[in-house]
Structure 1
Amino acid sequence: MLEIFAPEFWSQYGGLLLDGTWDTLVMVVLSTLFAYLLGLPLGVALVLTQPHGIRPNRAVNRLLGWIINIGRSLPFIILMIAIMDFTKLIVGTKIGVRGAIVPLVVSAAPFIARMVETSLSEVDAGVIEAAQSMGASTLQIVWKVYLPEAKPSLVLGGAISIVTILAYTAIAGAVGAGGLGDLAIRYGYQRKVPSMMLVTVVFLIVLVQIIQFVFSCVSNRIDKRLK
């Protein structure tokens, strides 16, 4: 393990680690962006159509909940393999960074939808009623009441979502998605280079700590209850 402190180790594997870290970051950023484009509206729709929501619709709420629960119940690696043909249809390949983004989005979007639903459900009902009494439309209530009031919780939920997607990218490395997970499997396990396994684990831990720290700071700064 002490070889990770040797210049020879970094001259041999430093470029691979840099490329793997970059691939991981690309997968995380793009997957998070597209997953929120799907998950955020789904979460908002769940809150609006609840029995006590501003647009109650039991049938729509149950249908959305059913779809989201199915998406959340599938283990990521099984989902990734199951939709490989769909992935190739969308991005033209089943492997690599591009091949990982589609299953990452499909897997993360339902999780994000539930996170958004939980955050929006914490908004004070009195604030919503006040907005309705002033004649605000549904869209106005969502954009000017729900989302701003739930912003600290949404930010913390974003950190959890990103860390979850980061963990999924490591799993995706098992089927050739690239990134740090791929390096850990190919070099750390298959080629018996334990130092590579250790370094990739350390890199992932550092990324998680940075993400959590940044998002916690942002949440504290925008939380009106702490001012």
Structure 2
Amino acid sequence: MDVSREIILGAIWETLYMVSIGLFFGATLGLILGITLVVTRKGHILENRWVFGIVNPIVNIFRSIPFIILLVAIIPFTRLIVGTAIGTTAAIVPLVLHIGPYISRLIENSLLEVDEGIIEAAKAMGATPWQIIRKFLIPEAFPSLILSVTTATIGLIGATAMAGAVGGGGLGDVAITYGYQRFDEMTILVTVILLVAFVQLIQTIGNRLERHFRHSS
């Protein structure tokens, strides 16, 4: 393998950087969109067919665009936000727009699993819509939300690998630049093993957190 340890360690750091920052902003966007999709649907606490009718198709549109195409399609927007369309930081912009709508659907499904009786009881106690969301919906769905974020994080790792195809950095970039283009099968194998290790670690942590909060609730 021709790739130095410094290059591998740098790629690991770039991958962690993209995943952590992308997940933070993507989860924030996804939480807002997911809650909006739930509470504004017909029969829910903040029913609003206009808001739902706008947010729902927007989420569907972004979810239907393959990440590699989204990466290229929003280059002007990425350049506007971070000043460049190349590099690790630039890759975060499409990562957020890719993972945010995906997380919103996962959160929507988790929140819809909450027993309607709990919401009705909250209404009977005089809770405001915000109180129902903060003190009833989210706490009841929290274990499921953990698994949703875990699934999204794993998907985000895969997306960072694709970002390497256009100079986004990270392990995907190493696999393509030093592995594929130089016919170095060992480099490809090492990057695959590291990506698998990341996925296994995140899934294990997510499962344990989900069991902990489900048993303590």
Which TM-score applies when normalising by structure 1?
Answer: 0.93
Local SS of the residue matching 2:176: helix
Deviation of residue 210 (structure 1)? 0.1
Q: Say whether 1:124 aligns with 2:124.
A: no
Deviation of residue 125 (structure 1)? 0.5
C-alpha contact (below 8 Å) 2:27/2:149 kept by paired residues: no
1:46-79: CA deviation from partner (whole Å, max 9, x where unpaired): 1001112111112221211100000000010100
RMSD: 1.2
> Which of 25, 45, 49 is matched with 1:34 structurally?
25
State how 1:26-175 maps to structure 2 within 5 Å: 26-175=17-166
State how 1:158-197 maps to structure 2 within 5 Å: 158-197=149-188
Deviation of residue 14 (structure 1)? 1.1
**Which residue of the partner structure matches residue 17 of structure 1?**
8
Deviation of residue 219 (structure 1)? 0.3
Q: Which runs of 4+ in 1 moved over 4 A?
A: none
> Which structure: larger Rg?
1
Overall identity of the aligned pairs, in %:
47
Deviation of residue 205 (structure 1)? 0.1
Where do 5+ consecutive residues of structure 2 fail to align? none
Count of aligned pairs: 217
1:198 & 1:60 partners in 2: Cα distance?
47
Local SS of the residue matching 2:114: coil
Deviation of residue 161 (structure 1)? 0.5
1:110-140: CA deviation from partner (whole Å, max 9, x where unpaired): 1011011000000010011000100000110
Local SS of the residue matching 1:50: coil
**Which residue of the partner structure matches residue 6 of structure 1?**
none
Deviation of residue 91 (structure 1)? 0.7
